[in-house]
Chain A
Amino acid sequence: MNSLGSPRPRKDAAGWQQDVKSIGWWAEHAAIIGLIGLSIVFTSLSPVFLTAGNIQSILVAASILIVLTVGQSFVILSDGIDLSVAATMTLGVIAFGMAYAQGAGLLVSMLAAIAASSVIGILNGVLVAKGRITDFIVTLGTLSVASGLALVLSDGKPISITSIELINFSTHGVLIFGNPFIVAAAVAIIAHVVLFRTRFGTHLFATGGSKEAAQATGISTARIKIAVYTISGVLAGVAAILLVARVGASEPAANTTFLLNSVAAVVLGGVSLTGGRGSIFGPIVGALLLTVLTNGLTLMNVSQFYQPLAVGVVVILAALLSRFQK
């Protein structure tokens, strides 16, 4: 019975201590360790950092990035990458502004944002799955297309959106949880359930882990690819609504930081860049970490110019660490 030997689970105290010492353990928990470490540093450096008010503003500030990161996680888990997320969000923002300027109500404007972003998402998916073009190239192309469209449609000008409801939405909440963060948290929980509790989720992991193996069992990997890019597009639309609510205007800004940070958060969150392995909560902790970093640096009056530098250093450190993942 034993000749094929089953690995015995070693979960006694000694085994656990060994775990903590191994670099793999640190790599797998890089995001949460980084988040706690940074929080300790900023708490000791700034009396404001650990106040309810600041935590609330961190959570609200993180909400857009969290929504985008969830979409990016779906795509990266399926062994793709969505370089167009931020541009797609911008297009959603412009669609919102145009609908609103035409006199459409809030609800219709929101739907316009989601519709416009979804179109880019579906386009990404179809080009990757049916056109058989690399994810990287397709989304690099649609990045340009979406930001170009946003500029053309808006004529490069912002549209201010003065809606009491939107302002109320983004400034209120429950306890220390602002409404935008509640939306982001809901998106994250639904995403977690979809990934780990549905057939679609399992098929997504299989597609990202081994396309051939997935296809051999009859899974349509093309359908999975179209689905993940569509999800990323829809979520970029949701993020667009949150962005309009926060800024109070519809601007054709490039939002490149959102793209970089969404990929960075996924990497920090321990998702394998080759797909098939990872979670949703890891990337969300990654998104929180990046937001805390920005928030803390701002509290300490470090110039804004240093923030991309800090993000870059953190991401490269995380990527280095992730090489040691089991």
Chain B
Amino acid sequence: MTTTATTSIVDVQDVSLAFGSVKALQDVSLTLAAGEITALVGDNGAGKSTLVRCISGIHKPQSGTISFEGKPVHFRSPEDAREAGIETVHQNLALVDDLTVWQNLFLNREITRGIGPIRFLDRKAMKEAADRMVSNLAVNVPAVKSKVRRLSGGQRQAVSICRAAGFSSKLVIMDEPTAALGVQETAKVEALILKLRDDGHSVLLISHNFSQVMRLSDQVWVMRAGRCVAGRRTIETTGDEIVSLITGSREK
């Protein structure tokens, strides 16, 4: 009833995490298949973002294991996770408003040149590469030299996704990437997500939009009150079933 035969890229086993008395995650187990779009759904406060933060190295699980490409991993920081090939588009849009598009795209991945330890930014190379990255997108982003502050919500999201898709990432995690977007922007971002999969990235998508989940995903996991309560192949389920799993009116 749950997973398929394809190889998994992430295996979450019995992961638990509490913030004081709040049990944000309780024995969560799920798998993400390589090359697929996996959706993670659940009500507000179900623990979706917290799980994502464990996978991307921001939080450390208090118990349980997370395996990436078959090997258990213990990321100590987001840097470690990015190093391994996991990029995250965070719910709160983790871009720095006062930096330019190209600076954000290359944040902590700057291209430098110089001799030995004395290194300077290769701004030209980064701007050119940023231009290329952005022009590959289906979304129209203004000049890479403009400050992120001036971008619309959809353009920001496109930049975040663009950054996550770059740097040969294997898994791209997106926490509600279309939450703040209009109809057209949502459509474009959805196109970007499908393109990511077609380009060979695995995708973990958190969304409250069921039709979007049904449209895009291959596999759905449902979380409720800190637990992963069900998993379904998307083609074998319906929006109604997902809703009843989320609210708990139906188990397993």
Contacts and interface: CB of A to CB of B under 8 A. Distances in A.
Given A198-B120, A199-B119, A219-B107, A7 B98 contact: no
B97 A210 contact: yes
B82 interface: yes
B110 A218 contact: no
Nearest to A219: B108
**Which interface residue of B119, B120, B152 has the most chain A CB atoms within 10 A?**
B120
Interface stretch (B3-11, B140-148, B197-205, B244-252): B140-148
Contacts of B107: 202-203, 206, 213-214, 217, 219
B103 interface: yes
B98 A205 contact: yes
Contacts of B66: none
Nearest to B58: A216
A4 B94 contact: no
Contacts of B150: 7
Interface string A192-232: 01000111011101100110111111111000000000000
Contact of A218 (B77, B90, B143): B77
Interface residues of B, number: 41
Contacts, number: 104
Contacts of A277: 98
**Which interface residue of A6, A212, A216 has the most chain B CB atoms within 10 A?**
A216
A1 interface: yes
B142 A197 contact: no
B78 A215 contact: yes
B188 interface: yes
Contacts of A5: 140, 152
A218 B141 contact: no
B140 A2 contact: yes
Nearest to A206: B96
Given A216-B78, A219-B107, A6 B141 contact: yes
A213 B108 CA distance: 11
B108 A4 contact: no
A267 B242 CA distance: 55
A51 interface: no
Contacts of B82: 217-218
A214 B188 CA distance: 26
A276 B96 contact: yes
Interface string B90-114: 1010111111000100011110100
**Which interface residue of B88, B107, B120, B141 has the most chain A CB atoms within 10 A?**
B107
A3 interface: yes
A209 B108 contact: no
B155 interface: yes
Interface in B113-144: 119-121, 123, 139-143
B184 interface: yes
Nearest to A214: B96
B43 interface: no
A202 B92 contact: no
Interface in A1-32: 1-7, 9
B69 interface: no
A138 B125 CA distance: 40
20 contacts: A1-B140, A3-B184, A3-B188, A4-B188, A5-B152, A9-B143, A193-B120, A197-B123, A198-B112, A198-B120, A198-B121, A202-B99, A205-B103, A215-B78, A217-B78, A218-B80, A218-B108, A219-B79, A220-B77, A272-B98
Interface of A: 1-7, 9, 193, 197-199, 201-203, 205-206, 209-210, 212-220, 272, 276-277
Given A5-B152, A198-B121, A276-B97, 16 more contacts: A4-B139, A4-B152, A6-B140, A9-B143, A198-B112, A199-B110, A206-B99, A209-B97, A210-B95, A210-B96, A213-B94, A214-B108, A217-B94, A218-B77, A218-B79, A218-B108
7 A-B pairs with least C-beta separation: A218-B79, A6-B142, A216-B94, A217-B108, A213-B94, A209-B96, A209-B98
